[in-house]
């Protein structure tokens, strides 16, 4: 083994140790798990913190997998696997509200629809799997970007923000203000901003503490008027928690060729 391979092997050992403990590990526990001396583990942790591969939990010296690494892993999650995981949760939402339920996923600086379940009736709104969802108009994209770091948000805001309807917010100031409200309230809404007469609500899905996905409901405005917003948001929050638990333990598989 070359010196470079030896160093990489040590980084891998630390990451494997941290990944094996959902609640995180302190330095001494990482030392025991890897068999490496304190000074070496301390240097490795410091480097992994700098690149975002691990993070300190609640600003304490408890180390968990970082947002950057978590996102990389979930970019490799096969769409079919993701659909299989999400379908039962989405079906329960459809059964309760008789509207389309969907899961969206962050991929780089773009949010795309990843899974969808529709009610069994003729007139309904839908979200085409693989469709890019605009940050400034789609509830699912808002629910994800509200919880991203400044660098990624700035990158996403470089894209054009067309006015899809007369209700679309297009200025940077308007978008940032709404994302702040979403962080405060914990859910996002699209009230005719993307398609006339179409309403959507979405909540962020946390995987290992990182928001990579969102779960939402979309439908015609008149249909949504049957339910209080609070009841839909409460159901979406419950679904988001269920999906977070399921996706945190999901096997990472290569996409289909």
Are residues 132 and 166 both part of a single domain? yes
pLDDT at 242: 93
pLDDT at 184: 96
Q: What is the CATH number of the domain that holds 21?
A: 1.10.10.10
Q: Considering the domain boundaries, does residue 254 fall inside one?
A: no
Are residues 186 and 92 both part of a single domain? yes
Domain count of the fold of the chain: 2
pLDDT at 23: 81
Q: Considering the domain boundaries, does residue 253 fall inside one?
A: no
Q: What is the CATH number of the domain that holds 214?
A: 3.30.450.40
Beta bridge partners of 200: 190, 218
Q: What is the pLDDT along the chain (257 residues), one digit of tens a residue?
A: 565 558 889 999 999 998 888 788 999 999 999 999 999 999 999 999 988 888 888 778 899 888 777 767 766 677 788 888 899 999 999 999 999 999 999 988 889 988 999 888 655 555 555 578 999 999 999 999 999 989 889 999 998 999 999 999 999 999 999 999 999 999 999 999 998 999 999 999 998 778 989 999 998 888 888 899 999 999 999 999 999 888 876 544 444 43
pLDDT at 124: 57
Q: Considering the domain boundaries, does residue 256 fall inside one?
A: no
For residue 207, what are its two tokens? 């995987």
User: ∠ CA(170), CA(173), CA(176), 5° rounding?
Assistant: 95
Are residues 44 and 93 both part of a single domain? no
Are residues 23 and 95 both part of a single domain? no
Q: How far, CA to CA in Å, does 46 sit from each of 23, 41, 164?
A: 19, 9, 45
Between helix 38-50 and helix 3-19 the angle, nearest 10°, is 80
- Domain residues for the domain of 202 are 73-248
pTM over 0.85: no
Are residues 97 and 217 both part of a single domain? yes
Residue 194 CA to residue 191 CA, distance in Å, equals 8
């Amino acid at each position: 083994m070359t010196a470079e391979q030896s160093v990489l092997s040590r980084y891998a050992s630390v990451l494997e140790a941290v990944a094996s403990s959902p609640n995180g590990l302190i330095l001494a526990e990482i030392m025991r798990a890897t068999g490496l001396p304190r000074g070496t583990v301390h240097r490795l942790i410091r480097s992994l913190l700098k690149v975002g591969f691990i993070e300190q939990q609640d600003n304490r010296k408890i180390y968990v997998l970082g947002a950057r690494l978590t996102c990389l892993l979930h970019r490799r999650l096969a769409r079919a696997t993701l659909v299989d995981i999400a379908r039962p949760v989405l079906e329960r939402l459809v059964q309760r509200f008789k509207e389309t339920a969907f899961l969206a996923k962050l991929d780089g600086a773009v949010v795309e629809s990843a899974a969808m379940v529709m009610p069994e009736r003729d007139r309904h709104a839908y979200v085409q799997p693989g469709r890019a969802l605009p940050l400034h108009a789609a509830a699912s994209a808002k629910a994800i970007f509200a919880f991203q770091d400044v660098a990624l948000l700035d990158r996403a805001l470089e894209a054009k923000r067309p006015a899809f309807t007369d209700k679309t917010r297009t200025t940077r100031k308007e978008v940032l203000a709404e994302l702040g409200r979403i962080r405060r309230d914990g859910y996002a809404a699209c009230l005719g901003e993307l398609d006339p007469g179409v309403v959507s609500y979405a909540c962020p899905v946390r995987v290992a503490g990182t928001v990579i996905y969102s779960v939402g409901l979309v439908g015609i405005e008149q249909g949504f008027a049957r339910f209080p917003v609070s009841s839909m948001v409460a159901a979406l929050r419950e679904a988001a928690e269920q999906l977070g638990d399921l996706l945190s333990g999901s096997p990472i598989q290569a996409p289909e060729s």
